[in-house]
Structure 1
């Protein structure tokens, strides 16, 4: 691990070691309905003056979220409630002492219109708490780009007016148009309109556009720009060839070195680090922080976004959990104090803070806490609510961060959810989707639901996962490592490692995954030698060629290299159906826009023709993404998963 000691705060703490759960025997599992509930309470935030507290609440199991606004001095008082019927509120932000901006969605179609063309549309709206008045924006699919903390009656919103024409670009580089919206007058004016070579724009705490990203089509290069306050002309900061797999992300201003930016970048190294970057000379001047085990995941901004919106307080990385190395001594000490106060403290965030800094909302989430919100006001800490209030910590499971060797010598990390009871346990290998994403497991609903029913769950960070450096990522593209081969070995080797360690039963192993994880489950069904008793595949890519053809012509640069290398050299499940040698449960949403239902329909026909042992479940009205799974979808999914594992997974069930 490399760091500059003068730039990092080191807090000396007395370590208190808490024992593991005293539960040594299996406990009676919760009703599956408990896990199937959508988040009961979420998005808890204070108004800037600290006088009001708002949150999203789903009052019934089949209901939509409503905004509840409380008197922060007395949460026992009846709140004021806001809904957006027939639309569903998905997120809100306090933008002034009396205004809440929110995002809402509505299902407008019964069927998808093609790949990545879903059934929902989104709108922005502003709610005036004092006037009890809601005003919506005409444009669809907008984004709140800046809250303008120093302009309490204004915010900056943005829209993507030409998404279809420039869909070949990465989403982060698609042009947007930016407007200043006056909350009091209900008017908006155009501030700046992006274009392909200078597209997405960021604003500083004063509302000045100060960084932008674009794409030079002729050169095939991504470009980053900067602009000083008072200037009207953009200057070029950095260029990167579109074929590069390295990262370059502008995180914000470097308070310690005037004129410089803090960026996360590889800069020729395997692991990305946090750098002080001089935009005038286009040089990486100082390495602030880098680790030998994982990439830098980003930065943590100061908890008071109203008075210090540009202040970066620490650098974030993910291992056993997301951890923060704080630059700001007081911020680090505050979090350390909260960790000593909050039960089952794991990942703690200050989610909002009053302008004067005296009041705040705090959120904790971890293996034994599905997510709990707290209010700190008038020197008291009050529990506001839990995402899943029916789940008690004693009945949830611990998660261990492990590593094991793959058969070719690559070290693979993973997260192991261990049920209450004694090993060896039946094991469910649950690879993440993507596949080119990072995963840090705290509270995982699927993992905890399965563990609550007696199954150990392994979530392997196989090659191609993005948290472990370029070598680990690029190993997914080398000979023999494409999807279905080396990437699949990493998952199997994790299961075999747990068997060797005496934690898992070799005769009771299954694989369950969603999206790419579902693809991996389909591939596992035809592997020999076979280590699984069954597979359970959700939203699975069943035909690699069909999936690639949806967007083959849109790919370029590193995205094209990775997708073509990984998919065209991969095992294609639909071509391997004759080799399937274990029972299968298949689950798919009937309006899945990312992996359209045509995949599963073609695959099911082949299984039927070959008289394979399978069962399938269609989730009516479910898209690909977790936030489109409502209570009925989740209870259907969980009943089928647990029932299949218990009764139909291999001889006698798992």
Structure 2
């Protein structure tokens, strides 16, 4: 038998609780708004390398927790996590779970007022063992991790490799902060001990490492911030590759399939595109790597950091593995979920057990545990258990052409069970701006669709997903062609008769928040209202803030200027400067602990609107960051946004 049988709906037998129950069994006629705004019922899943343990980060009832199961699906460890800002987890063998969380903190000595600091929490699988923080038992380094460079098994047990900021000592012998450049440390999960294995770089140098399967530093990349000169060296300090890029566009990707080469990426100075190369660790000439392939993702062996395979960024692509048996197994999994917008999330090294996530039309998010040897896949948990398959609005892609003839696309979500004609519409541009929307279940878009709105998410120039030329076409086009690309998508959908363009609002977060503000200030007569969540109102202020918080890093400064264009034109694309031209009510929502887009952006925009006598509201999200990590404030954002849109652009 060469196919995997997928069982699509089955209430989970081990725990009769909401996140593990079939959505179809719990669905109401119209889901409450909270069903969309809440954190997912299952936020993440992980499987140990042996396949003997499975971890689920979930909310059951009112309790947010981590549950670890054995291979018989018996619960072996639970931990309540409350309002933790969860960023991911993975197993330390079959002994512990490493949970990465973040906190917004004031850090003395750093250049910014606040930083989002990551920490590693080690949760032993034994029920009574106490959790511990990586670097929590020492005063020599900051109680935080600055990059995870891999977990490795050794004769002495499991070791983790993390970036760590070291403290110095003053003349009194007290520990003091000196600089924020991380060194590389080895952390012993059994004892909590740590040891430096590579020094922090000198001032003005950015450094990254690759750690091999034996726990040794295989390669090191240094980038000089002032000049952009970069060098990759091996463990013997021999130069493997070098070059110069004024924006510092170079990076270590990983170890090759055999572990004896380094894969790196650098920016081509003529085309501006990223080029991949592979060079032997022992030294030799670098060769182009996958030169004709646009990469969606790589698959890595977590045991040694070596490349297993890749997935091309093209329609219908299947995994390509360098090992024939892995190729067979990965393709079996991919084909079993064909047409279900599936993504392989976790796997054992031999691909005998795989975790797959699906979502999209008629699927509000389902997690499957796949037993490849047994040829079966069964649902294990659900993202939105209160949203049934028939309550998910249909999702499709609209191809359209911008005013200057550039071809692009937008994702369209329609209200479930309604005729697609003359609908009120919410234009929902994505953040980034270097990212893109794709067909799937978007909780924000589906929330609007559930209330009767069509939603269009344009992939304007500057977005990813259409090649690097398309992405670079957005350079210097904030508030200009990137903005008209968004309204061109609205016009294209209106031309088809699907939406009524006179009944439109624009809503977005981060860059999308900027686009929302620009839509009613730099543009006129298009939208009945605008909602900006953590948006940018002043480009010059953004540049000055980010430049200061980067420590005035020349690499960062040159890169940002390249993207934004001539600084003499920044006022002309700053919505705050055109507050007096706002032709629709504006709702500003911003987290007080936002370390990506400073709260000052929304505060100053509010002041400008107030001075101009324009209708607006400013909602502060207490304790919230840029990513809406907290359940309470995420719900607050959605409730405020929906009420505002319904007030100014009612669906009925």
Shorter-chain TM-score category? 0.7 to 0.9
Contact map agreement 2:241 2:286 (CA 8 A) in 1: no
Matched, 1:388 2:384: yes
Query: What displacement does 1:623 show?
Result: 1.8
Cα–Cα, structure 1 residues 211 and 315, in superposed 2: closer, same or farther, change >3 Å? farther
Query: What displacement does 1:584 show?
Result: 2.0
**How do 1:205-244 residues align onto structure 2 when only pairs under 5 Å count?**
205-217=213-225, 220-227=227-234, 231-243=235-247
Query: What displacement does 1:541 show?
Result: 1.1
Separation in structure 1 between the aligned mates of residue 199 and residue 430 of structure 2, nearest angstrom: 37
Q: SS at the partner of 2:403?
A: coil
Q: Which residue of 2 aligns with 1:642?
A: 642
Contact map agreement 1:416 1:456 (CA 8 A) in 2: yes
Q: Which residue of 2 aligns with 1:504?
A: 499
Separation in structure 2 between the aligned mates of residue 86 and residue 348 of structure 1, nearest angstrom: 27
Cα–Cα, structure 1 residues 595 and 343, in superposed 2: closer, same or farther, change >3 Å? same
Structure 1: gaps spanning 5 or more residues? 1-11, 14-26, 165-173
Separation in structure 2 between the aligned mates of residue 531 and residue 451 of structure 1, nearest angstrom: 20
Aligned residues: 596
Cα–Cα, structure 1 residues 504 and 222, in superposed 2: closer, same or farther, change >3 Å? farther
- Quick one: which of 483, 490, 507 aligns to 1:495? 490
Q: SS at the partner of 1:101?
A: strand
Cα–Cα, structure 1 residues 416 and 339, in superposed 2: closer, same or farther, change >3 Å? same
Q: SS at the partner of 1:147?
A: strand
Cα–Cα, structure 1 residues 617 and 366, in superposed 2: closer, same or farther, change >3 Å? same
Cα–Cα, structure 1 residues 265 and 466, in superposed 2: closer, same or farther, change >3 Å? farther
Cα–Cα, structure 1 residues 585 and 145, in superposed 2: closer, same or farther, change >3 Å? same
Q: SS at the partner of 2:491?
A: helix
Q: SS at the partner of 1:509?
A: strand
| Residue-by-residue CA offset, 1:450-497 (whole Å, 9 max, x unaligned) | 22222222222222224434432333335xxx3211111111111111
- Quick one: which of 133, 140, 144 aligns to 2:143? 140
Contact map agreement 2:91 2:98 (CA 8 A) in 1: yes
- Quick one: which of 412, 423, 430 aligns to 1:432? 430
Query: What displacement does 1:31 show?
Result: 0.8
Q: SS at the partner of 2:500?
A: strand
Q: Which residue of 1 aligns with 2:400?
A: 404
Query: What displacement does 1:596 show?
Result: 2.5
- Compute the TM-score of the two structures, normalised by the length of structure 1: 0.80
Cα–Cα, structure 1 residues 226 and 148, in superposed 2: closer, same or farther, change >3 Å? same
Cα–Cα, structure 1 residues 261 and 298, in superposed 2: closer, same or farther, change >3 Å? farther
Separation in structure 2 between the aligned mates of residue 595 and residue 91 of structure 1, nearest angstrom: 23
Q: Bigger shift: 492-501 or 179-188?
A: 179-188
Separation in structure 2 between the aligned mates of residue 332 and residue 84 of structure 1, nearest angstrom: 38
Q: Which residue of 2 aligns with 1:599?
A: 601
Separation in structure 2 between the aligned mates of residue 114 and residue 547 of structure 1, nearest angstrom: 18
Cα–Cα, structure 1 residues 646 and 516, in superposed 2: closer, same or farther, change >3 Å? same
Separation in structure 2 between the aligned mates of residue 153 and residue 338 of structure 1, nearest angstrom: 33
Separation in structure 1 between the aligned mates of residue 362 and residue 275 of structure 2, nearest angstrom: 31
Separation in structure 1 between the aligned mates of residue 167 and residue 460 of structure 2, nearest angstrom: 33
Structure 2: gaps spanning 5 or more residues? 4-27, 137-141, 169-179
Separation in structure 1 between the aligned mates of residue 624 and residue 315 of structure 2, nearest angstrom: 32
Query: What displacement does 1:271 show?
Result: 5.2
Matched, 1:81 2:85: no
Contact map agreement 2:276 2:289 (CA 8 A) in 1: yes
Cα–Cα, structure 1 residues 112 and 412, in superposed 2: closer, same or farther, change >3 Å? farther
Query: What displacement does 1:415 show?
Result: 2.0
Query: What displacement does 1:535 show?
Result: 1.4
Q: SS at the partner of 2:431?
A: coil
Matched, 1:91 2:67: no
Cα–Cα, structure 1 residues 29 and 114, in superposed 2: closer, same or farther, change >3 Å? farther
Contact map agreement 2:219 2:262 (CA 8 A) in 1: no
Query: What displacement does 1:331 show?
Result: 3.6
**How do 1:208-607 residues align onto structure 2 when only pairs under 5 Å count?**
208-217=216-225, 220-227=227-234, 231-243=235-247, 248-255=250-257, 260-264=261-265, 267=268, 268-269=270-271, 272=274, 274-277=276-279, 285-286=287-288, 288-290=290-292, 295-301=294-300, 305-306=302-303, 309-317=305-313, 324-339=319-334, 341-342=336-337, 345-353=340-348, 358-377=352-371, 379=374, 380-420=376-416, 421-424=418-421, 425-477=423-475, 482-552=477-547, 554-557=552-555, 558-565=558-565, 568-570=568-570, 571-607=573-609
Contact map agreement 1:483 1:567 (CA 8 A) in 2: no
Separation in structure 2 between the aligned mates of residue 274 and residue 633 of structure 1, nearest angstrom: 41
| Residue-by-residue CA offset, 1:130-179 (whole Å, 9 max, x unaligned) | 36232322332214321114568222232342799xxxxxxxxx843222
